[in-house]
Amino acid sequence: MTSFLMSFFSSVGLAARRLALVLLAFAVSATGGGAQATASLVVSSDPELRAMAAELLPDLAARAGMELREPVRLESRSRDELVDYLRWKIDEELPEEEAMARRDAYALLGLLPSDLDLRQMLLELYTEQVAGFYEPDSTALFVMDDQDPDDVHALLMHELVHAVQDQNVDLDALTDPDRGNDRSAAAQAAIEGQATLVMLEYATEQMTGMSVDLGQVPDFGARIRPALQAMNTQFPALARAPRVIRETLLFPYIEGAGFVQRLWADGQRLDPFGDALPLSTEQILRPMAAPPVDVEISVSRGKVVLDDVLGRLELGVLMEDVLGVRGGGTGAAGVGGPAEAWDGDRFALVEGPDGRRGLLWAVVWESTEARARFVQAVEAALGDFGGEVAVELRAVDGRAVTLLRIGPSEVVGVDAADVSVSLSPMR
């Protein structure tokens, strides 16, 4: 779920003008105009947009520690054009069959309603949230034409950073769903975290007239998290969305900003896309965490219609919302919680000859004790999954593993020989 939502949400952007307004309130409590630039930095048919962006770009690029290699394309679009684009993008990125497969997999895990129209919900979410977006495929930045200049200025502070990022790293490659749900989500958090932090630092200096280094602000994540989490209730479509969707959409901004701020803390402003690029959402939450292992599942019956990694972020949501285990989430509440014992996972959605579907989900734990606690929680919440659940304990390469079979036994099997699980180092 995360890999699709985040890679698509990166293209359309989380209403950066609204995000900026939330963060600007923090900027005042945390504590001259931008550098002049020639209009040649921006290509646009709108002279006002061109001048506004050209003034911002050099400062934003410098704060991000990235080179502005070529002019940025910037244009305005109508709200109707946005909706048309969103429909086209959803059709391209999430065809109906894949949407149903992802819905079915997460419904079996107890994370989504089994009758959810995922594509329609996403269209409503994006239409509500989007004020502008950077589109990596066309290397162009678009803003909605129904906004006042102050809102556009706030939006550009965030989205122009994405344009600079894309001139230095391949954003599409970093968030490619083929990299796996959790890994692409971690990269997305690095992308949005850097853009959010650069935007916030620039805005703080503009408001206070003082030089600011957000890398030196103590408890940064704890200070901005409540303001950003308040967005859950400020927008109707977002408030109605299942928690796993809400967490997925806000995670890169909330936790990503904290991750990048820690990279800035020593004054060197380490590049989040170099050696520090996170390989899992666990490394966003716990920077010193080791990379997870790659997990593969092979089945001898049925047809695998979808396989992916749930990941640390979504495991935390499952632990709290499905299993009722506290301490599974993000932020301070998740520190030292049971989800931190996650060392990797993979699920496979399997379809039987009669069209019925079931889920196989293998999770690697850091110890047999952590595995036992998870199994105990699962057995106490069997009725909260989307199908009948069977739990199997395995040792794979000396690691403690659980294999959950969720759904009809005729589909997911009952014999150990039906399913093989293998582990390998993440590359």
Give the C-alpha separation, 291 to 279, whole Å: 6
Residues of the chain with pLDDT under 70: 1-39, 328-336
> Which residue ranges make up each domain of the chain?
2-283, 291-425
Give rounded-to-5 percent helix, strand, coil for the chain: 55, 15, 30
Report the helix count and the strand count for the chain, using DSSP H and E: 17, 11
How many whole angstroms separate alpha carbon 17 and alpha carbon 326? 34
List, as one string, the DSSP characters of 360-419: EEEEEESSHHHHHHHHHHHHTTGGGSSS-EEEEEEEETTEEEEEEEES-HHHH-SSGGGE
- CB within 8 Å of 44: residues ≥ 6 apart: 50, 53, 73, 74, 75
Residue range 250-278, pLDDT digits in tens: 899 989 999 999 999 877 788 899 999 99
CB 182 within 8 A of CB 311: yes
Q: What are phi and psi of 360, to 5 degrees?
A: -110, 130
If we measure between CA atoms, which residue out of 368, 366, 378 comes closest to residue 319? 378
- For residue 268, give both structure tokens: 């060197």
Kindly give the residue spans of alpha helices, DSSP state H, lying in 169-274: 171-174, 181-208, 220-229, 231-234, 236-240, 243-264
pLDDT of residue 26: 54
DSSP, collapsed to helix, strand or coil, labels residue 52 as: helix
DSSP for 89-116, written as a single string: HHHHHS-HHHHHHHHHHHHHTTSS-TT-
* Pairing mode, strands 303-308 and 342-351: antiparallel
Query: What is the phi-psi region of residue 56: left when phi exceeds 0, alpha when psi lies from -120 to 50, beta otherwise?
Result: alpha
**CA torsion 182→186→188→191, rounded to 10°?**
-170
- Name residue 346's beta-bridge partners: 362
How many whole angstroms separate alpha carbon 42 and alpha carbon 64?
18
399-406 and 419-425 beta bridge pairing: unpaired
Predicted structure pTM score: 0.91
| Residue among 406, 426, 403, 398 nearest 416 (CA) | 403
Residue for token pair 């999770």: 363
pLDDT on residue 7: 47
Tokens in use for 217? Answer: 């602000």
Long-range pairs for 398-402: beta carbons < 8 A, 24 or more residues apart: 399/293, 399/343, 399/364, 399/365, 399/423, 400/364, 400/365, 400/366, 400/367, 400/368, 400/370, 400/371, 401/362, 401/363, 401/364, 401/365, 401/371, 402/362, 402/363, 402/365, 402/371, 402/374, 402/375, 402/378
The H or E element spanning position 132 is strand 132-135
Three-state DSSP class for 283? helix
What is the rounded distance in angstroms from the CA atom of residue 161 to the CA atom of residue 420? 44
Rounded CA-CA distance 253/247 in Å is 10
CA separation for the pair 309, 296 (Å, rounded): 10
* Residues found in the chain: 427
What per-residue confidence (pLDDT) applies to 34?
Answer: 41
The alpha carbon torsion through 81, 83, 88, 91 (nearest 10 deg) reads: 180
